[in-house]
A and B are shown apart, each in its own frame.
Chain A
Amino acid sequence: MTVVRGLISLLVFPGALFALPAGWFMMWLQRKINARAQGRIGPPFFQPFFDFVKLLAKEPVVRPRLQGFLMTVLPLAAVASTLGAIALLPVFPKAGGFSGDLVLLVSLIEVGPLCAVLGGFVSRSLYGGIGASREAVLTLAYNVPFLIALFALVASAGSFSLAGVALAAAWPVRVLALIALVACIPVKLHLNPFSAASAEQEIYAGSTTEYDGPRLALWELAHALEWVALTGLVASLAFPVADAAWPVRVVVFVAVSVALVVVLSFAAASTARLKLAQTARWFLLCGSGIALSALVVAFVRL
């Protein structure tokens, strides 16, 4: 991966230039679908963008210097790491990547929730603290199936590079692993039924309760980018169009990502929130079961 190619993936596609509008579009689509499922008209198309601009223009609450610094740096780190994760997505698997970029991708994806946990505690709000502790418990829970599923893909493909996994993983393994990965997405995006970390009826906004103005805008941005990163990861692993021109691959990537948003939104609209312990149990038993079966299939094939 040359420097120029890396910069293009970070800044143009699938990076900032694509990911920002795509993230806002996905957030709008989720809210619109949720609204329509509830018989409401829903937000206008540019609402996530308007929210972002409005929050940026707001004057933040004056805080102690260290707290203000941390509350600015943590969402910034979440935005930067999620953008880095998006840049690593194997949209063009034949173009390369490097060995071990899957490990880097997983760690970059995990920086966002980690920052949310720290940010919740740093804000010194009761609700922020509860949200952060729930986020931490859920992160531990969903990472068991998430990592097992990725490990199954790695074992099947025999490679730690994302391009290798996207091209070489066996399909039975891939289908099972992707089911486990898709099940993990609602937790990361705080969607029903796994939205205990930001249960607005109990703990307001969870870890971001105390955030305001530009700091909250950064969290919203990180959230929008997480949508692109997670749906994009599944899309690029589910449909690795290897032998097509680049516009076809881009269209397939975007279409699968958006389809996934639709599925997740309808799933969120039709389910109720599980309790924290129920969510954790679900991931440790059901989610891990699916992921483990993928791993077993991978090793049996080997």
Chain B
Amino acid sequence: MNILNIITGNVARGPQTVRFPGREAPAAAYRGSVTMDAAKCLACGICDYVCVSRAIAVTPGAASCEWTYDPGRCTYCGRCVDHCPVAAVTQAGDRGDSYARSGAQRATVTVPYPACPQCGRPAMPYNEAVLGAAFGDVSAELRERIHLCERCRRRATTAALKANFGAAAETGRSDDGR
């Protein structure tokens, strides 16, 4: 009856374990819930594209863009954070609360499109860092046009093209006959 000796010994010695701690602080650099800063967002949808578990959905609308995130589907892999070109997506250092219903913690952020300074219609948001990365040296002309909506930008480009062609017509043909 060795088991009885073991049991009486265990009961006499008292518990060797401790109460489960209520909530331990997460480790430093813990990859937790994803948050998004609407002021920085370009509405490019890269986070939606790279998300492996479809936790992030980017739905473009007419005047704004809906960015939806469901922590219940998230694997906290951090790909959206790595791929965001403007560091609008960040991960909190905490894992968030528990929940009972799927989709209970789904959060939606609306990214408003800025108004076109010429016609007032919605234009795509832009960011200085991305502009520099795409074009290198940003000319004053480009800086002016980046605020415009797609329609006004096309018009401005056409107008500039026409102006260039007009200038070329005035200077005349080149010497080799072309």
Q: Complex Cα distance A269/B15, Å?
A: 15
A35 adjacent to chain B (CB < 8 Å): yes
* Chain A residue at minimal CB-CB distance from B19: A41
* Chain B residue at minimal CB-CB distance from A59: B101
A277 adjacent to chain B (CB < 8 Å): no
B25 adjacent to chain A (CB < 8 Å): no
Q: Which residues of A contact B18 (CB under 8 A)?
A: 41
How many Å from the CB of B89 to the closest CB on chain A? 28
How many Å from the CB of B12 to the closest CB on chain A? 10
Instruction: Please tell me if the beta carbons of B100 and A39 are within 8 angstroms of each other in the complex.
Output: no
* Chain A residue at minimal CB-CB distance from B18: A41
Instruction: Please tell me if the beta carbons of A39 and B13 are within 8 angstroms of each other in the complex.
Output: yes
Q: Contacts A36-B10, A38-B10, A266-B7 hold; do A59 and B102 have CB atoms under 8 A apart? A: yes
- Tell me whether chain B's interface is mostly helix, strand or loop, or mixed: loop
Q: Which residues of B97-125 have CB atoms within 8 Å of chain A's CB atoms?
A: 100-102
Instruction: Please tell me if the beta carbons of B3 and A42 are within 8 angstroms of each other in the complex.
Output: no
Partner of B100, one of A35, A37, A59: A59
Q: Which residues of B contact A44 (CB under 8 A)?
A: 19
Instruction: Please tell me if the beta carbons of B15 and A42 are within 8 angstroms of each other in the complex.
Output: yes
Instruction: Please tell me if the beta carbons of A39 and B17 are within 8 angstroms of each other in the complex.
Output: yes
Q: Complex Cα distance A1/B17, Å?
A: 51
Provide the B14-38 mask, 1 if CB < 8 A to any CB of A, else 0: 0111110000000000000000000
Q: Which residues of B contact A5 (CB under 8 A)?
A: none
How many Å from the CB of A280 to the closest CB on chain B? 24
Q: Which residues of A contact B16 (CB under 8 A)?
A: 39-40
* Chain B residue at minimal CB-CB distance from A35: B15
B11 adjacent to chain A (CB < 8 Å): yes
Instruction: Please tell me if the beta carbons of A270 and B17 are within 8 angstroms of each other in the complex.
Output: no
B129 adjacent to chain A (CB < 8 Å): no
Partner of A39, one of B4, B15, B101: B15
Q: Which residues of A164-222 have CB atoms within 8 Å of chain B's CB atoms?
A: none
How many Å from the CB of B98 to the closest CB on chain A? 9
Instruction: Please tell me if the beta carbons of A40 and B17 are within 8 angstroms of each other in the complex.
Output: yes
Instruction: Please tell me if the beta carbons of A36 and B3 are within 8 angstroms of each other in the complex.
Output: no
Q: Complex Cα distance A266/B10, Å?
A: 12
Tally chain A residues at the interface, Cβ within 8 Å: 16
Q: Which residues of A31-74 have CB atoms within 8 Å of chain B's CB atoms?
A: 35-42, 44, 57-59
Instruction: Please tell me if the beta carbons of B102 and A39 are within 8 angstroms of each other in the complex.
Output: no
Instruction: Please tell me if the beta carbons of A36 and B19 are within 8 angstroms of each other in the complex.
Output: no
How many Å from the CB of A188 to the closest CB on chain B? 24
Q: Which residues of B contact A36 (CB under 8 A)?
A: 10-11, 15
Q: Complex Cα distance A41/B102, Å?
A: 33
How many Å from the CB of B124 to the closest CB on chain A? 39
Q: Which residues of A contact B15 (CB under 8 A)?
A: 35-36, 39-42
Q: Which residues of A contact B10 (CB under 8 A)?
A: 36-39
Instruction: Please tell me if the beta carbons of B100 and A270 are within 8 angstroms of each other in the complex.
Output: no
Instruction: Please tell me if the beta carbons of A270 and B101 are within 8 angstroms of each other in the complex.
Output: no
Q: Complex Cα distance A37/B10, Å?
A: 6
* Chain B residue at minimal CB-CB distance from A54: B100
* Chain A residue at minimal CB-CB distance from B1: A270
* Chain B residue at minimal CB-CB distance from A44: B19
Q: Which residues of B contact A57 (CB under 8 A)?
A: 100
* Chain B residue at minimal CB-CB distance from A41: B15
How many Å from the CB of B61 to the closest CB on chain A? 30
A residues sitting closer than 8 Å to B (CB atoms) are 35-42, 44, 57-59, 266, 269-271
12 contacts between A and B (CB under 8 A): A39-B10, A40-B15, A40-B16, A41-B17, A41-B18, A44-B19, A57-B100, A59-B100, A59-B102, A266-B7, A269-B7, A270-B7
B residues sitting closer than 8 Å to A (CB atoms) are 3-4, 7, 10-11, 13, 15-19, 100-102
